[in-house]
Amino acid sequence: MVNKVTKIGVLTSGGDAPGMNAAIRAVVRTGIYHGLEVYGILRGYQGMIDDDIIKMETRSVANIIQRGGTILKTARCKDFFEYEGRQRAYDNLRARDINGLIVIGGDGSFRGAVKFSQEFDIPCIGLAGTIDKDIYGTDFTIGFDTAVNTAVEAIDKVRDTMDAHDRIFIIEVMGRDAGYIALHSGIATGAENILIPERKTDINDMIASLQEKERRKKLVNLIVVAEGDEFGGANEVHKILKEKMPHAEIRVCILGHIQRGGSPSCLDRLIASRMGFHAVESLIEGRHNVFVGIMNNKMHYIPLENAVKNKVKISEEWLRIVKILAS
């Protein structure tokens, strides 16, 4: 490993998340403050392989903190799974003497960083940028707060029409492998049922509860479903319910990619700025191959390898809250 970092690259990888631009801004300006040269790598690992790398200055990140998405773009990169692709990426970094890398992304992005840092002499720092909040070792991930607030706002609006028509609404939110958006938005909007990948749902018990409410003329019921739940999302849940409750007014609403977009919340801007600042300082201080997390409002530095090996678990407390408040 190199001892002194003088030139760093920053990239965003995987799914975009509100607040990524705030993190890029913090990395660039902190790096320049410390006398480092900072390079932006476009389209994630694909840009490393294609040599799509630009030098960044303070002005490069002006007026971006409030913007969603990522100015560096992002892309899935199959070539990075192969050694030859990683070798080309390394050669492009070394041609510019880049000797430090900051990766803003999720679990898959961290896996790439772990592999890359094991094979080559460029230390990596990870920033947890994912709306799913599924990274082990941090209380916050960049983008989650904005995404869940977007979902809450949308669900509140759907509830208005749901109440007006005495309907059951099944609302699908993002979360292929993690149910945090469904869990938080469901609790915040008073959902009667929340279906998440981390917990098996007794569908017969749920149907019995809905039928009992139907007999009591409680016709308005909200079901929030993570896209990766065991039944395969909102449309599949709708089929099951419609078969058992043919006379009920049941509608489906899939929120989709609106959860990824939009101006980041204050919280996402703050944590992204804080994480970006500490990522650069970590490289300077020689703290390599970790990701920067926040736990109990303090910075934590978790080995990248641990972050990808361990899974986030939803606490039993949250599950009890769902069960009691939805009864």
Give the pLDDT confidence of 89-128 residue by residue, as tens digits. 999 999 999 999 999 999 889 999 999 999 998 999 999 9
pLDDT for position 1: 45
Whether 122 and 99 have beta carbons less than 8 Å apart is answered as yes
Beta bridge partners of 142: 129
Comparing 162 with 24, the larger pLDDT belongs to 24
pLDDT band at 327; cut points 50, 70, 90: low
- Whether domain 145-260 has CATH 3.20.20.140: no
* Residue 95: strand, helix, or coil: helix
Nearest to 113 by CA among 48, 27, 61: 48
Cβ atoms within 10 Å of 81's Cβ, excluding its own: 12
H helices of the chain, in order, are 20-33, 44-50, 83-95, 107-119, 144-165, 180-188, 203-215, 234-244, 266-285, 304-309, 316-325
Considering the four listed CATH numbers 3.20.20.100, 3.40.50.300, 3.40.50.450, 3.40.1550.10, the one that applies to the domain covering 7-143+264-309 is 3.40.50.450
- Separation between Cα atoms, residue 13 and residue 130, nearest integer Å: 10
Orientation angle between helical segments 180-188 and 316-325, nearest 10 degrees: 40
Choose among 208, 196, 207: nearest CA to 241.
207
pLDDT digits (tens, 9 = 90+) for 55-73: 999 999 999 999 999 999 9
CA distance 174 to 106: 15
Structure confidence by residue, pLDDT tens digits, 256-305: 999 999 999 999 999 999 999 999 999 999 988 999 999 999 999 999 88
pLDDT of residue 244: 87
Q: What is the torsion angle, in degrees rounded to the nearest 10, for the CA atoms of residue 22, residue 25, residue 29 and residue 30?
A: 50
SS3 37: strand
Going from N- to C-terminal start, the domains of the chain cover: 7-143+264-309, 145-260
Q: How many CB atoms neighbour CB 246 within 10 A? A: 8
For the record, the structure tokens of 201 come out as 């749902």
The reply to whether domains 7-143+264-309 and 145-260 share a CATH topology is yes
- Nearest to 288, CA basis, from 34, 12, 138, 101: 101
- Please identify which residue in the block is written with the tokens 């990248």: 304
Band of the pLDDT at 219, cuts 50, 70, 90? low
As annotated, the active-site residues are: 132
Residue with the two structure tokens 């449309």 = 235
